[in-house]
Structure 1
Amino acid sequence: MGFMNRVKNFLSPEDDYYEEDDQFEYVEETEDNTQTPLRSRSNPSNVVPFQSPGVKKTSKIYVVEPSVYSEAERIADALLKGEAVLINFKRMEPKDAKRVIDFVVGVAYAINGDVQKVRDEIFICSPANFQVQGNFDEEAGDVFRRPEF
């Protein structure tokens, strides 16, 4: 047996596993010389939205004022979609607000996000693709101070 036959036998499927289907007639493929017509450039189905390099996707910040713990799911859903959430806990009992913050901090940790306290009852939760810059300066009358560069 020659080298080529051994390679052919090695690469070809074994006879036990290979069954020929004699029911179907094999047809040779012929080369098709017909040309397909070119599509018109004015066809609206070919329009692809193009975003210029200087324009970025619009980010959203949701403002939520929860009154019950079950609204934490809505906050988590927004974070999972890549949107930031500003939470105002003024309508919530402190013990329930702590439970919501614990839940939201867990979600933020799971997506490499962040939760920052803005004031006593206000927090901002941001996903990984959202950056909050600045420090809250209580001495300056509750305003954000620009970061130093």
Structure 2
Amino acid sequence: MGSVRKASAWLGLVEDNDSDERYYDDEYSEDAETGTGQPWVTDPRVQVASEKAEDTGRRIATVTPDSFRDARGIGELFRDGVPVIVNLTAMDPSDAKRVVDFAAGLTFGLRGSIERVATRVFLLTPAHTQVVNGEAAGRPADGFFNQS
């Protein structure tokens, strides 16, 4: 397939009849197991909690994108109501800035929040999620571990 035809198929202007034959095998099944009892993971950079956590609504995804192309995966997880930890330490600074801008727009549009956890690591939380700070509010200055 020529590059113009590939670009047209990618834009959705023409049907890409070759893609179904190239990417799907008759012996492939959707619920394939790896042999370790774990289901196939589509992207090793995305880690999501177990099915039990999914049933109770306690899932957090961690994503370490390589480029701006991975922003779509972040958006899909966040749109499904999953809090996402985005680790941008492996990215080029210009692409990392684009991902942060995308994440800020995503959280604004879906009424969530974005919080910097560490250098180039961000937590995106949906509207129904509350982040609890580990410091106790109103703790006296001469607290339990005061060494002075």
The two structures have a TM-score, normalised by structure 2, of 0.53
Dislocated runs of 4+, deviation >6 Å? none
The residue aligned with 1:122 is 121
The residue aligned with 1:59 is 58
The residue aligned with 1:52 is none
The residue aligned with 1:108 is 107
Residue pair 1:64, 1:88 contacting (<8 A) in 2 also:
yes
State the SS of the aligned residue for 1:115.
Answer: strand
1: CA distance between counterparts of 2:121 and 2:58?
20
Shift of 1:100: 0.4
Over residues 80-107 of structure 1, what are the superposed CA-to-partner deviations in whole Å (9 max), with x where a residue is unaligned?
Answer: 1000000111110111001001011111
AA matched with 1:146: E
Residues 124-143 of structure 1 mapped to structure 2, 5 A cutoff? 124-134=123-133
Over residues 100-127 of structure 1, what are the superposed CA-to-partner deviations in whole Å (9 max), with x where a residue is unaligned?
Answer: 0101111111110000001111100011
The number of residue pairs the alignment matches comes to 84
1:146 aligns with 2:135: yes
The residue aligned with 1:92 is 91
Greater helix content: 2
Do the aligned partners of residues 58 and 103 (structure 1) sit closer, same or farther apart at CA in structure 2, a change above 3 Å counting?
same
State the SS of the aligned residue for 2:56.
Answer: coil
Over residues 38-68 of structure 1, what are the superposed CA-to-partner deviations in whole Å (9 max), with x where a residue is unaligned?
Answer: xxxxxxxxxxxxxxxxxx9322110110011
Determine which structure has more spread, i.e. the larger CA radius of gyration: 1
The residue aligned with 1:48 is none
2: CA distance between counterparts of 1:90 and 1:107?
20
State the SS of the aligned residue for 1:133.
Answer: coil
2: CA distance between counterparts of 1:85 and 1:114?
11
Do the aligned partners of residues 129 and 67 (structure 1) sit closer, same or farther apart at CA in structure 2, a change above 3 Å counting?
same
State the SS of the aligned residue for 2:115.
Answer: strand
The residue aligned with 1:5 is none
Residues 42-53 of structure 1 mapped to structure 2, 5 A cutoff? none
State the SS of the aligned residue for 1:118.
Answer: strand
2: CA distance between counterparts of 1:71 and 1:147?
37
